[in-house]
């Protein structure tokens, strides 16, 4: 039970579903000393958070259940350092919008959010100490290495803005200024994490542990943060929209690899169910007059999928149902929160305009506009 985990159980829960864990001994030592590891996850506040955000949320839920203290960095300054993905005038509203979304997502997966600490990047990234460290790091890190560190995260282009080179420098300093034992992020952050290990000691700061979750394929087999609107499901998409998008999802029978629905079940639906539910993912087969398929782990589910026992036709409605159940409290919270709704309009004014235009044109049946994770307007 959650409150009496042994050190081994704590570590096991920290490791669940990670693709990589660099310098785990740092965390092991903290736990052996009887302290609560302090871990942060940063998110640049750019495009609207979508269902892909459930993947880090579930990992955060596990970290909290394992007794970690989790800090969520709302990286507002990073939102515009990266090629102005968030325009400077909107970034503050976006950070507020993200805080509402992330809180609601975590509540939807049963996380007691009082245990979470939200920090706004700009609240400390403009202090004299931080800025002086920024200058110092700029003097000891080469342009080449700064570019390399951001290669998979920062938008690359010809004649790219200089701010893209600052992005990794700030992310590395954040580990020191947030006073954490570890940083958590997707494997796309790997080069930034490697830079942190190398650069912090240059200023006499200690290196941290790094936890990485795998990139989960989206509904069309690509990363869910791609700019293809149908490949991602907005947190506020109505149940019938969710069902429709999932119906359209690419899911070749018997091919488990790269299947976004199986991945979403493995990394979100199953862990959510095991944190505070039956621990099961249920696939109804009433129509065929058969007993439901009941999964407790991803391995059995993947095996059944490969053997076509779990067909795409069976999987899709099961995923839609479970996802709509997760989204319902988020959408209810949004409807009940006037402040959140007002911030949404201010944070994404362009989308709101587009949405209205589209609604007139096609009765709102299409994806209601939306920016990708990278903030690019939907085509
Ligand atoms: N690089 C992260 C992303 O891709 C955002 C981030 C920003 C993370 C600053 C940590 C940090 O300190 O979204």
Three-class secondary structure of residue 283 per DSSP:
strand
Instruction: Give yes or no for residue 366 having a pLDDT over 50.
Output: no
**Which tens digits make up the pLDDT trace of 283-309?**
999 999 999 999 999 999 999 999 999
Q: What is the pLDDT of residue 114?
A: 78
Tell me how far apart the alpha carbons of residues 347 and 69 are, in angstroms, rounded to a whole number.
29
CA 132 to chain CA mean position, Å: 31
Share of the chain above pLDDT 90, in %: 82
And the tokens for 307?
A: 């053997």
73 C-beta closer than 6 A to ligand 1: yes
| Confidence bin at 352 (pLDDT 50/70/90) | low
| Confidence bin at 93 (pLDDT 50/70/90) | very high
Three-class secondary structure of residue 42 per DSSP:
strand
Q: What is the pLDDT of residue 360?
A: 46
180 C-beta closer than 6 A to ligand 1: no
Tell me how far apart the alpha carbons of residues 239 and 2 are, in angstroms, rounded to a whole number.
33
Tell me how far apart the alpha carbons of residues 246 and 260 are, in angstroms, rounded to a whole number.
10
175 C-beta closer than 6 A to ligand 1: no
Q: What is the pLDDT of residue 217?
A: 87
Cα–Cα separations (whole angstroms), residue 245 to 251, 257, 321, 371: 12, 20, 13, 17
231 C-beta closer than 6 A to ligand 1: no
- In this prediction, residues 195-213 reach a mean pLDDT of 98
Tell me how far apart the alpha carbons of residues 333 and 328 are, in angstroms, rounded to a whole number.
9
Q: What is the pLDDT of residue 115?
A: 77
Q: What is the pLDDT of residue 353?
A: 65
Beta bridge partners of 42: 73
Element (H, E) at 340: helix 338-347
pTM, to two decimals: 0.90
According to DSSP, the β-strands at 116-120 and 182-186 are: unpaired
Cα–Cα separations (whole angstroms), residue 206 to 38, 166, 167, 180: 14, 20, 20, 10
**Residues 19, 214 contacting (CB under 8 angstroms):** yes
According to DSSP, the β-strands at 69-75 and 38-44 are: parallel
171 C-beta closer than 6 A to ligand 1: yes
**Residues 17, 2 contacting (CB under 8 angstroms):** no
Tell me how far apart the alpha carbons of residues 284 and 294 are, in angstroms, rounded to a whole number.
9
Q: What is the pLDDT of residue 224?
A: 55
And the tokens for 35?
A: 């302290």
Cα–Cα separations (whole angstroms), residue 43 to 74, 159, 170, 197, 248: 6, 25, 13, 20, 29
Tell me how far apart the alpha carbons of residues 224 and 310 are, in angstroms, rounded to a whole number.
23
Tell me how far apart the alpha carbons of residues 233 and 226 are, in angstroms, rounded to a whole number.
11
**Which tens digits make up the pLDDT trace of 220-245?**
655 554 456 677 899 999 999 999 99
- In this prediction, residues 324-330 reach a mean pLDDT of 96
Minimum-distance ligand 1 atom for the alpha carbon of 78:
7
- In this prediction, residues 331-342 reach a mean pLDDT of 98
Instruction: Give yes or no for residue 374 having a pLDDT over 70.
Output: no
Residue with tokens 């991803």: 298
DSSP string, 159-178: T--THHHHHHHHHHHHHHHT
What percentage of the chain's residues is helix, strand, coil (to nearest 5)? 55, 10, 35
Q: What is the pLDDT of residue 221?
A: 57
82 C-beta closer than 6 A to ligand 1: no
Strands (E), the chain: 20-22, 38-44, 69-75, 116-120, 182-186, 209-213, 281-283, 293-295
And the tokens for 340?
A: 């959140």
- In this prediction, residues 314-338 reach a mean pLDDT of 97
| Confidence bin at 274 (pLDDT 50/70/90) | confident
**Residues 170, 78 contacting (CB under 8 angstroms):** yes
**Residues 166, 121 contacting (CB under 8 angstroms):** no
Cα of 139 vs centre of ligand 1, distance in Å, is 22
Pocket test for ligand 1, best of 40, 44, 124 (most atoms within 8 A of CB): 44
210 C-beta closer than 6 A to ligand 1: no
| Confidence bin at 276 (pLDDT 50/70/90) | confident
Q: What is the pLDDT of residue 376?
A: 40
* Max CA distance (Å), the chain: 69
CB atoms within 10 A of CB 18: 17
* Atom 6 of ligand 1, residue of closest alpha carbon: 42
Average pLDDT over the chain reads 90
Share of the chain above pLDDT 70, in %: 88
Does the ipTM exceed 0.85? yes
Task: Give the single-character DSSP code of 267.
Answer: I
**Residues 54, 218 contacting (CB under 8 angstroms):** no
């Amino acid at each position: 039970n959650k409150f009496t985990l042994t050190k081994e159980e704590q570590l096991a829960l920290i490791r669940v579903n990670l693709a990589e864990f660099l310098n785990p001994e740092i965390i092991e030592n903290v736990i052996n000393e009887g302290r609560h590891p302090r871990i942060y996850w940063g998110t640049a506040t750019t495009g609207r958070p979508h269902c892909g955000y459930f993947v880090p949320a579930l990992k955060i839920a596990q970290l909290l259940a394992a007794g970690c203290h989790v800090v969520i960095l709302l990286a507002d300054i990073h939102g515009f350092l990266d090629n102005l993905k968030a325009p400077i005038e909107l970034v503050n509203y976006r950070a507020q919008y993200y805080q509402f979304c992330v809180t609601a997502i975590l509540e939807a997966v049963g996380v007691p959010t009082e245990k979470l600490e939200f920090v706004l990047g700009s609240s400390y990234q403009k202090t004299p100490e931080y800025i002086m460290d920024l200058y110092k790091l700029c003097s000891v890190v080469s342009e080449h290495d700064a570019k390399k560190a951001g290669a998979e995260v920062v938008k690359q282009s010809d004649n790219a803005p200089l701010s893209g080179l600052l992005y990794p420098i700030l992310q590395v300093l954040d580990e020191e200024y947030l006073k954490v034992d570890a940083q958590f992020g997707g494997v796309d952050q790997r080069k930034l994490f490697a830079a942190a290990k190398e650069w912090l000691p240059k200023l006499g700061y200690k290196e941290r542990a790094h936890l990485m979750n795998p990139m989960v394929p989206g509904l069309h087999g690509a990363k869910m943060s791609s700019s293809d609107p149908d490949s991602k499901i907005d947190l506020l998409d109505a149940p019938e929209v969710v069902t429709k998008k999932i119906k359209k999802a690419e899911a070749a029978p018997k091919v488990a690899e790269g299947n976004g629905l199986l991945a979403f079940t493995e990394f979100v639906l199953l862990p959510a169910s095991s944190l505070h539910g039956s621990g099961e993912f249920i696939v109804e087969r009433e129509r065929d007059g058969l007993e439901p398929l009941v999964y407790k782990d991803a391995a059995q589910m993947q095996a059944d999928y490969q053997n076509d026992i779990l067909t795409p036709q069976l999987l899709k409605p099961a995923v839609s149902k479970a996802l709509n159940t997760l989204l319902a409290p988020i959408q209810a919270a949004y409807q009940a929160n006037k402040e959140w709704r007002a911030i949404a309009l201010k944070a994404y004014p362009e989308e709101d305009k587009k949405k209205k235009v589209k609604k007139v044109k096609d009765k709102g049946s299409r994806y209601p506009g939306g920016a990708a994770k990278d903030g690019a307007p939907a085509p």
